[in-house]
């Protein structure tokens, strides 16, 4: 009598169920334009000397117009010319909202804001962002013009219900004091020149890097595709090293402005890279020739993913040690999560391949990855502004 095939261990079925759940959630929220039930990031550059300071704020257009309590005609505008017209028409409401939620103080005394020039609109990824510039007249303070500055942000809070967990990435260069910090609802304020500023900067950007990979489903699916296609621990280590080296190079170069590639090109290629690696991991995994092309392709796609990582920081400034500190901290955070995923998932995949169930489980895991990535590719290509 023929014995029944052994049942796959419960841990492997749990892994499959968890991965399919994650992929289903990714498909449900695959469209970048549908991300408003999630979160957003505001980008701010603060520069100046003495009592004259200027802040350039980069804010997601439709959220800004909704938060300023404007009508659908304003926040629903899709054409850049119409968005510029709406910003100009509703300049008073927009400025009142921004100055009420973003503040600058010098030696504990509030600086008076005023608009500096007309608003602009540009694209980050596939979303339009409004660029607003505010000039601040700050009091001299007790220590003259050399006192500490306090920067606070309460932009797009949870209470507005449009998004949650908004982060404001602030880069500042005031009176020779440079630094970066991530402001959140829990820690909405930074003070320039603090004694522990560097340590705080390292922690904040390390956590931001971890968060970006952990909640960046496209990068996680690419990593899972690599793991599914790996034949041994050596394959995993080589692929992970190639991917890390590649994305670290382009991440640093792009964030420092040395390399510039439009997000409209980067994002679709990232989506396509997931589909390619997922299909290759199933159909070409056992071919001897796989090893010859696998690492060069992983490295090439890693270069593109690095450009995507850089876009998350929204940095547009020249070289400085403070900038490098933020970039390295962010990148180490990415690597920490990547390593954690490998340590957890790859041993389970090894156990899975020792059971007959791998013949259907691996394709069942791969199919949703391919479907989601192809949907992303189509959505990102069609969302490119004309």
pTM score, two decimals? 0.75
Q: What is the dihedral of CA 57, 59, 64, 68, to 10 degrees?
A: -10
pLDDT at 6 over 50: no
Work out the average pLDDT over 320-324: 70
Work out the average pLDDT over 13-27: 51
More confident residue, 203 or 37: 203
Strands 167-174 and 41-49 turn out to be parallel
pLDDT at 4 over 60: no
pLDDT digits (tens, 9 = 90+) for 127-155: 899 999 999 998 876 555 567 899 999 99
pLDDT at residue 32 in the model: 40
Distance CA 378, CA 373 (A): 9
Buried b (16+ CB within 10 A) or exposed e, 298-319: bbebbbbbbbbbbbbbbbebee
pLDDT at residue 10 in the model: 53
Residue 150 sits at the vertex; the CA angle it makes with 144 and 152, to the nearest 5 degrees, is: 155
Distance CA 308, CA 310 (A): 5
Provide the pLDDT confidence category of residue 27 given band limits of 50, 70 and 90: very low
Q: What are phi and psi of 6, to 5 degrees?
A: -60, 145
Q: Tokens 């962002």 appear where?
A: 129
Which one-letter DSSP state was computed for residue 176? T
Strands 109-110 and 102-106 turn out to be antiparallel
pLDDT at 22 over 70: no
pLDDT at 26 over 60: no
Domain ranges for the chain, please list them: 10-30+212-382, 40-194
């Amino acid at each position: 009598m023929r014995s029944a095939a052994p049942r796959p261990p419960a841990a492997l079925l749990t892994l499959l169920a968890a991965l399919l759940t994650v992929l289903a959630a990714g498909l449900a929220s695959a469209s970048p334009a549908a991300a408003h039930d999630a979160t957003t990031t505001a980008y701010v550059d603060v520069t100046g000397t003495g009592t004259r300071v200027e802040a350039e704020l980069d804010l997601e257009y439709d959220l800004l117009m909704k938060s300023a309590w404007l009508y659908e005609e304003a926040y629903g505008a899709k054409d850049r010319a119409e968005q510029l017209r709406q910003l100009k028409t509703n300049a008073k409401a927009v400025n009142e909202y921004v100055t009420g939620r973003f503040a600058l103080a010098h030696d504990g005394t509030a600086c008076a804001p005023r608009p500096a020039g007309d608003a602009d609109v540009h694209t980050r990824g596939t979303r339009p962002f409004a660029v607003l510039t505010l000039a601040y007249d700050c009091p001299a303070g007790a220590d003259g013009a050399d006192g500490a500055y306090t920067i606070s942000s309460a932009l797009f809070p949870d209470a507005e219900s449009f998004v949650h967990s908004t982060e404001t990435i602030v880069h500042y260069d005031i009176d020779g004091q440079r630094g970066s910090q991530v402001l959140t609802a829990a820690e909405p304020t930074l003070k320039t020149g603090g004694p522990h500023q560097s340590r705080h900067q390292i922690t904040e950007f390390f956590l931001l890097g971890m968060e970006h990979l952990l909640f960046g489903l496209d990068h996680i699916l690419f990593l899972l595709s690599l793991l599914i296609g790996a034949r041994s621990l050596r394959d995993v280590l080589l692929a992970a090293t190639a991917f890390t080296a590649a994305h670290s190079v382009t991440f640093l170069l792009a964030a420092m402005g040395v390399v510039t590639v439009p997000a409209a090109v980067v994002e679709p290629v990232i989506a396509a890279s997931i589909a390619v690696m997922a299909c290759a991991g199933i159909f070409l995994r056992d071919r001897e020739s796989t090893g010859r092309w696998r690492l060069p392709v992983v490295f090439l796609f890693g270069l593109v993913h690095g450009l995507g990582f850089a876009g998350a920081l929204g940095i547009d400034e020249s070289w400085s040690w403070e900038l490098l500190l933020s970039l390295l901290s962010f990148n180490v955070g990415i690597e920490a999560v990547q390593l954690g995923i490998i340590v957890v998932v790859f041993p389970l995949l090894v156990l899975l391949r020792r059971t007959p169930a791998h013949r259907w489980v691996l394709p069942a895991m791969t199919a949703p990855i391919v479907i989601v990535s192809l949907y992303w590719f189509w959505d990102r290509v069609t969302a490119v502004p004309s």
